[in-house]
Amino acid sequence: MKSYLALFCLSLGGSQIAQGFVAPQNSGFRVSTTIKNSFDVFSEELANEESSSARRSLIHSAAAASFSLALGGAIVPAVNADVGTLPEFGDSEAIIQGLTVNVSDKSQLDGMVEFLVKGFDFQILRQRIRDTVEEIWLGYGPEQLSIPGDFEIPVSSFAKYGGHMSLKLVLDSRVMKPLYKGGDDAPGNNIDFLQVGVPGYRISQMVASGGKILDAYGLVNVVSPSGFPMRGIVGITPDPIMLVAVNCKDVKESKAFYEKLGFVEQEYPYSRPSKGTTIFEPAPPAKSVYMAPSAGCMGVLLQPTKKRITPNPAVESLNIVYNPTNGNDGDGLLLTDPSGLGIRFMSASTFTEEEKKTR
């Protein structure tokens, strides 16, 4: 496969900084045929389920069964390699598109939007209401898997380029059980934090929106109004949504899990020139591993912990967009990693269609 060169133009203090970016080759994304066959069977059962909680339970059961089969099954490469037409994803068979976070009620949803927009300068990218479910996607630029028509080199900033990651907030009014009480610690510890590198953040606005500041010495660690933990670093990156840190009882086991999904170990990303030598952006913990399916998207930092791991109910899934072998095969499949983090799959064609409809 070829490596591609793209020109990124970042607007910073009125000046523009052009950065050359080369998407390196990697092992690509692989999907087990046993996962796909199992998913077809469970899809028929899901169609007959009316309750959202029942659907979630059944999907988790399907995922557990499918993945146990996948470990012993044949791993085959996807036929369609590229995800979209962006040069950065030219050698990518999958990308992490973002995360889905559940909120308990309307006030918590509004608080999360305010927290992200006013505290970290997120933008509302798109939204949708379907029956009792309200969804809002937030990020730092277009999510489309192609270069937007209004993007001009070298005039436009990277905020107008495609391929940005997003944070999806979901409110299902039928789910009455509260997931998090504001002001408490995070309701689970499998997710240590979602890291964003931004030119600046506003701690006062985070607090005003219902966030709980854990510490703010050099950087800020905060529990969001939904119970989802975040870390803010003052820095510059092509996409401010950098990575999600996952606590692991056994990093080797977690690494093997993600390798089965086509993730490869990547160079750890930094947003500051100091590259981990200061308190403003520390290096990752010892014996941790940074992995991603593509060098052009966000990744997961697998870090060791001796604490008992409890899944955070506010975090529904890490979302992967990929090109399946056959059509939309595997769409909606949800697996669970060894730390209890959901991994949801969506085909590139389905994502593109949904993204256009909900802008």
Q: Is residue 34 part of a domain?
A: no
In a domain, 132, yes or no: yes
- Whether cis (ω within 30° of 0) applies to the bond prior to 154 is yes
Contact 92, 299 (CB under 8 A): no
75 has a pLDDT exceeding 80 = no
Is residue 68's pLDDT more than 70? no
Q: Does residue 22 belong to any structural domain of this protein?
A: yes
Please, what sign has the CA dihedral across residues 288, 293, 295, 296? negative
What is the pLDDT at residue 293? 94
| Predicted local confidence at residue 327, as pLDDT | 60
User: Total domain count for the chain?
Assistant: 1
Report the amino acid identity of residue 176. Answer: M
| First-last CA distance in the chain | 33
User: For 128-166, how does the pLDDT look when each residue is reduced to its tens digit (9 = 90+)?
Assistant: 999 999 999 999 999 999 999 999 988 898 899 999 999
**Predicted pLDDT of residue 328:** 57
pLDDT (0 to 100) of residue 43? 39
CA-to-CA distance for 345 and 351, rounded, in angstroms?
10
Q: Is the pLDDT of residue 21 over 70?
A: no
- pLDDT-derived band at 59 (thresholds 50, 70, 90) equals very low
- Any domain includes 350: yes
Q: How confident is the model at residue 22 (pLDDT cuts 50, 70, 90)?
A: very low
In this prediction, what percent of the chain has a pLDDT beyond 90?
A: 66
* Lowest mean pLDDT across 22-31, 109-118, 194-203, 256-265: 22-31
Question: Domain limits at 154?
Answer: 5-29+78-358
Question: Above 50 in pLDDT, residue 12?
Answer: no
Rounded to a whole number, what is the largest CA-CA distance in the chain?
A: 56
Q: What is the mean pLDDT of residues 339-347?
A: 96
pLDDT score of 299:
97
Average pLDDT over residues 192-208: 98
Is 330 a residue whose pLDDT tops 80? Answer: no
Average pLDDT estimate for 34-55: 38
Question: What confidence category does residue 214 fall into, taking pLDDT thresholds of 50, 70 and 90?
Answer: very high
CATH, residue 157: 3.10.180.10
Q: Check: CB of residue 206 under 8 Å from CB of residue 327.
A: no
Q: Give me the half-sphere count of Cα atoms (radius 13 Å) on the Cβ side of residue 39.
A: 21
The pairs formed by 271-279 with CB atoms below 8 angstroms and a separation of 24 or more are 271/197, 271/233, 271/235, 271/236, 271/237, 271/242, 272/197, 272/233, 272/234, 272/235, 272/236, 278/218, 279/217, 279/218, 279/219
| pLDDT of the residue at 138 | 98
At 93, the pLDDT band (50, 70, 90 cuts) reads confident
Residue 201 falls inside a structural domain:
yes
pLDDT tier at 176, thresholds 50, 70, 90: confident
Helices (H), the chain: 33-47, 52-72, 106-120, 203-208, 251-260, 348-358
The verdict on residue 321 lying in a domain is: yes
Confidence of residue 81 (pLDDT cuts 50, 70, 90): low
Measured distance CA(68)–CA(290) in Å, rounded: 24
Comparing 201 with 44, which gets the higher pLDDT?
Answer: 201
- Using DSSP's 3-state secondary structure scheme, residue 57 falls into helix
- Bigger pLDDT: 51 or 332? 332
Q: What is the mean pLDDT of residues 244-248?
A: 98
Mean pLDDT over each residue of the chain, to the nearest integer: 81
Residue 207 placed within a domain: yes
Is residue 118 assigned to a domain? yes
pLDDT at position 324 is: 83
Q: What is the pLDDT of residues 265-317, one digit of tens each?
A: 999 999 999 999 999 999 999 999 999 999 999 999 999 999 999 999 999 99
Q: CA-to-CA distance for 75 and 263, rounded, in angstroms?
A: 13
Collapse the DSSP code of 53 into the 3-class scheme (helix H, G, I; strand E, B; otherwise coil) and give the result: helix
Q: Are 40 and 275 in contact (CB under 8 A)?
A: no
